[in-house]
Amino acid sequence: MLHKPLFGLLLTLAVYQLALLLYERCGKRAFLHPVATSALVIALLLKYWGVPYAHYLQGNKLLELLLGPTTVALAIPLYKEFQHLRQLALPVTLTVIIGGLFATASALAIAWWVGASDQALLALAPKTITTPMAMGVAESLGALTTLTTGAVVFTGVIGVLLSPVVFYVLQLKDPRLQGVVLGLNAHGVGTARSFEMGASAGAFATLTMCLCGSFLSLTLPYLIPLVIH
């Protein structure tokens, strides 16, 4: 059973559903986000059973193919909240440009400071972009897409976990601004969390995530080779 082609897919769906049930039963606590808990459980199970990650990944190709259409489908909440989005289009755009570049530069600077290799730096560069776009950028940079995917997911989970603390410390109560913060710093995972907070937060998170992904996807392939050779 462990070596069947659909093993990875069935494992992902089963563990995620259990993690989602736990998340809902516990009042949707951020530290129990199903992406975080299911990833941890799956990693432990693969280690215990001795299943190679490559084999597990092969079984999840269907889910990987669905990442793109899922991202495009986020246009629906954008359309529903278009009137509100248009009023803050310029501030959100400027926030995306400045925040996206700063998030990328700070991550690379910290990784370089602790002695990360050039290959690791290349993989970390797209970590502020949502997964399907980040994988494309990683491929264009010649980075390991699996490492990039891990960095993107880890960034999203940490962003969601820390968001309640950040909102409390900064007294950030406007759901639109909360959505912008989550969409920019936690991309797909943060956007999913934003929709749980409300339609307005979800729409602004979607807009921010898509703008950040598009902007960095167009610029990083040209900027990163200038600093990482």
Give the rounded distance of the alpha carbon of 88 from its chain centre.
Answer: 23
Backbone angle region of 27, left / alpha / beta, with phi > 0 → left and psi within -120 to 50 → alpha: left
In order of 112, 143, 222, the CA distances from 107 in angstroms are: 9, 16, 18
What is the pTM assigned to this prediction? 0.78
Among residues 210, 200, 227, 185, which one has the least CA distance to residue 70?
210
Q: Look at residue 153 and tell me whether its pLDDT is greater than 90.
A: no
pLDDT at 106 (0 to 100): 92
Distance CA 147, CA 143 (A): 8
54: its two tokens: 């490559």
Q: Look at residue 78 and tell me whether its pLDDT is greater than 70.
A: no
Helix axes 89-113, 175-197, angle to 10 degrees: 80
Banded pLDDT at 79 (limits 50, 70, 90): low
At 180-202, the pLDDT tens digits run 999 999 888 888 888 888 888 88
- CB-CB contact of 111 with 121 (8 Å): yes
pLDDT at 39 (0 to 100): 84
pLDDT at 5 (0 to 100): 64
Helix axes 34-49, 145-169, angle to 10 degrees: 140
88: its two tokens: 């803050």
**% of the chain at pLDDT higher than 70:** 91
Distance CA 129, CA 209 (A): 7
**Residue 101 burial (10 A CB sphere; 0-12, 13-18, 19+):** middle
* Mean pLDDT, residues 152-158 taken together: 87
In order of 102, 110, 160, 163, the CA distances from 106 in angstroms are: 6, 6, 19, 19
Residue type for 128, please?
T
